[in-house]
C-alpha cells in the first residue's frame, strides 16, 4: 500500500498571529501541491484559529501541538480535542518537551491518544529516548513502554490510521551538533514497528506511518527520508524558515515521486 510522505512543521511556542500568517503565505507561494506528499503545519493554539481560516486546505493540513484529554468541564486553561475538531486534522501528542517540562506521564499520553481518536482526529504520537536512557542501554525499553502504553485500548483501525514520530530527545534542536545517524534511526523505527506488530499484527504495523524528528533541515533530510520504512519527518526549528521548510518538501518530492504534480 502506498503511503503519502508526511512533512510536519512543528512551530512550537513561536510566532504571533502576524508572523504565522506571513510564514504560511510564503510557504503557500513556494510549495506546490504534490499528490504523494502531505504537508502539515502545527502553529501554537492561539494562532490556529486565524490560520485555519486563511489556509489553503488543498496544500496544507493543520495540527495542534497538544490538547487535554477530557472533552469539556472545569479544567481551567485547557483546550480539548473536541474543541479542535473543526480546526485541525492532526494533534501532536506526547512530544518530549511536554513529557519533560510538563511531566506528561505514560498514562496521560495514552489518555490523550484515546481522546484524540474518540474525537475523530489523528494522533501524531511522539516517542524517543533521552541521552541518559541511551547511555544506560535503556532506549529500547523506553520506546517499548512509550509505544505499548500509548496504544493500549485502541482498535486496529485506529492504530493503522495514526502517526508515530520517533524523536530521540538528544537529537532535537542540536543544529550543528549531534545528529542521529540514519542506521540508528532505522533500527529504532524498525523496533517501534515491531511493537505495533506484536500488539496489532503485521498488516497494521505496515500501515501505521512512522516519522523521524530531530534537527531535520533541507541539507540532512534526504538521509532520513531514504530510510526504508520512514514515512516522513517532523521538523521543528527548520519549519520556521520558509526556505528550509520548502526545501525539505522539495527533497521529499525529488526522492520519492516521479515528478507527478497537481499544481
Active site residues: 95, 167
All three cell numbers of 144, joined, read 517499548
x/- string (CB under 6 A) for ligand 13P, residues 59-98?
A: ------------------------------------x---
Characterize 153-173 residue by residue with b for buried, 16 or more Cβ atoms within 10 angstroms of its Cβ, and e for exposed: ebeeebbbbbbbbbbbbbbbe
# residues near ligand 13P by CB under 6 A:
14
Beta bridge partners, 61, equal 40
The SS3 of residue 255 is helix
Q: How far is the CB of 114 from ligand 13P (least distance, A)?
A: 21
How many residues would you count in the chain?
263
Candidates 159, 164, 236, 246: give the one binding ligand 13P (CB under 6 A).
236
- Candidates 74-82, 110-118, 207-215, 251-259 — which segment interacts with ligand 13P by CB under 6 A? 207-215
Residue 172 makes contact with ligand 13P by CB under 6 A: yes
Which segment (25-33, 106-114, 186-194, 213-221) binds ligand 13P by CB under 6 A? 213-221
- Contact call for residue 43 and ligand 13P (CB under 6 A): no
Does residue 215 belong to the site contacting ligand 13P (CB under 6 A)? Answer: yes
How near is the Cβ of 177 to ligand 13P at its closest, in Å? Answer: 10
Other Cβ atoms within 10 Å of 88 Cβ, number: 23
Q: Closest residue to ligand 13P, Cβ-based?
A: 236
How far apart (Å, rounded) are the C-alpha atoms in residues 243 and 230?
23
**Shortest spacing between CB 260 and ligand 13P, in angstroms:** 28
Closer residue to ligand 13P (CB): 43 or 236: 236
Query: How many Cα atoms occupy the beta-carbon half-sphere of 87 within 13 Å?
Result: 23
Helices (H), the chain: 17-30, 45-54, 81-84, 96-101, 106-118, 131-135, 139-151, 156-161, 182-200, 202-207, 221-225, 242-256
Asked whether position 216 contacts ligand 13P by CB under 6 A, the answer is yes
Q: What does the radius of gyration of the chain's CA atoms come to, in whole angstroms?
A: 17
123 sits near ligand 13P (criterion: CB under 6 A): no
Sign for the CA dihedral angle at 51, 13, 108, 138 comes to positive
Query: What is the distance between the alpha carbons of residues 260 and 253, in angstroms, rounded to a whole number?
Result: 9
Q: Residue 205 or 218: which CB sits closer to ligand 13P?
A: 218
The residues that touch ligand 13P, with contacts defined as CB under 6 A, are 10, 95, 167, 172-173, 213-216, 234-238
Amino acid at each position: 500500500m502506498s503511503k503519502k510522505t508526511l512533512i510536519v512543521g512543528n512551530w512550537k511556542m513561536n510566532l504571533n498571529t502576524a508572523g504565522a500568517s506571513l510564514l504560511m503565505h510564503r510557504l503557500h507561494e513556494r510549495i506546490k501541491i504534490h499528490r504523494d506528499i502531505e504537508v502539515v503545519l502545527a502553529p501554537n493554539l492561539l494562532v490556529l484559529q486565524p490560520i485555519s481560516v486563511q489556509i489553503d486546505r488543498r496544500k496544507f493540513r493543520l495540527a495542534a501541538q497538544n490538547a487535554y484529554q477530557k472533552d469539556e468541564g472545569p479544567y481551567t486553561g485547557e483546550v480539548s480535542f473536541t474543541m479542535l475538531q473543526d480546526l485541525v486534522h492532526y494533534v501532536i501528542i506526547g512530544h518530549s518537551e511536554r513529557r519533560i517540562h510538563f511531566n506528561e506521564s505514560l498514562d496521560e499520553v495514552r489518555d490523550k491518544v484515546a481522546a484524540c481518536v474518540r474525537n475523530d482526529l489523528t494522533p501524531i504520537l511522539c516517542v524517543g529516548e533521552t541521552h541518559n536512557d541511551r547511555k544506560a542501554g535503556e532506549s529500547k525499553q523506553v520506546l517499548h513502554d512509550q509505544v505499548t502504553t500509548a496504544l493500549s485500548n485502541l482498535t486496529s483501525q485506529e492504530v493503522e490510521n495514526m502517526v508515530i514520530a520517533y524523536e530521540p530527545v538528544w537529537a532535537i534542536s542540536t543544529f550543528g551538533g549531534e545528529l542521529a545517524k540514519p542506521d540508528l534511526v532505522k533500527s529504532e523505527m524498525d523496533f517501534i514497528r515491531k511493537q505495533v506488530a506484536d500488539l496489532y499484527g503485521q498488516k497494521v504495523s505496515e500501515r501505521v506511518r512512522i516519522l523521524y524528528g530531530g534537527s531535520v533541515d533541507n541539507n540532512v533530510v534526504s538521509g532520513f527520508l531514504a530510510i526504508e520504512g520512514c514515512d516522513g519527518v517532523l521538523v521543528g526549528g527548520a519549519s520556521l524558515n520558509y526556505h528550509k521548510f520548502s526545501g525539505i518538501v522539495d527533497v521529499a518530492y525529488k526522492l520519492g515521486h516521479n515528478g507527478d504534480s497537481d499544481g
